[in-house]
Amino acid sequence: MIQFTDVVKSYEQGNKALNGVSMQIEDGEFCFLVGPSGSGKSTIIKLITGELRPTSGTVHVNGYSLERIRRREIPYLRRTVGVVFQDFRLIDKMTVYENVAFAMRVVGAREKEIKERVPYVLELVGLENKQNRHPNEMSGGEQQRLAIARALVNNPSTIIADEPTGNLDPERSYEIMALLQEINNLGTTVLVVTHAQNLVEIFGKRVISIDDGLIASDSMEENDDEAE
């Protein structure tokens, strides 16, 4: 579960990136986070992954309290959160298989585990026949699938996708969102940060909108109000 309560984040220059954000994303949910550039979306991601700490308020992610987490606990938190970036961040000199296996080696997985898990995840994202390719031999959509495989391989409970379709054409963008929905159907919490309003509308999931460091709207709360 991801829970923000009255979260303020100020930077050294004095400007506030977040100005009292409260939100809760339940285990197994699929949620979009939308808002204009500079609204606070990137700060929210950095708080969830432990890259930043809140100036005030509380952030709870998968059992960890981010306002008082110890440095040695952060790697354990990050094993529960897989992050997919717009620019893929793949290692060009490694093959598809090696890129995914590397993510497991970083956290100390045994070779037996790696040999079992990597093929399974590559099949899940539709890259089982590309194991020996290098990223620069693949399309943008395939590279993003590889980035998703790498984020998934350590079996995190949560996936954060930061503008995952920003560099893709509409058809590939839809395929990536459908893949993230499939991953969510398997029980993984998925938070997608995006500007792609058309995809948000097509997939019809919960939408949290942030503007100027504040939650501007939350479609779940709006639906709850309508139910009442």
pLDDT at 224: 61
Q: What is the average pLDDT value for the chain, to the nearest integer?
A: 93
Which tokens sit at 122? 């590559």
Q: Mind listing the pLDDT tens digit for each residue in 146-175?
A: 999 999 999 999 999 999 998 899 999 999
Side-chain half-sphere exposure of 65, counting CA atoms within 13 A: 6
Cα–Cα distance measured from residue 74 to residue 34, given in angstroms and rounded to the nearest whole number:
26
Partners of 5 in the beta sheet?
Answer: 58
Q: Mind listing the pLDDT tens digit for each residue in 78-125?
A: 999 999 988 888 999 999 999 999 999 988 899 999 999 999 999 999
Q: Which residue has the tokens 């969102």?
A: 177
Q: Mind listing the pLDDT tens digit for each residue in 13-53?
A: 778 999 999 999 999 999 999 999 999 999 999 999 999 99
Prediction pTM value: 0.92
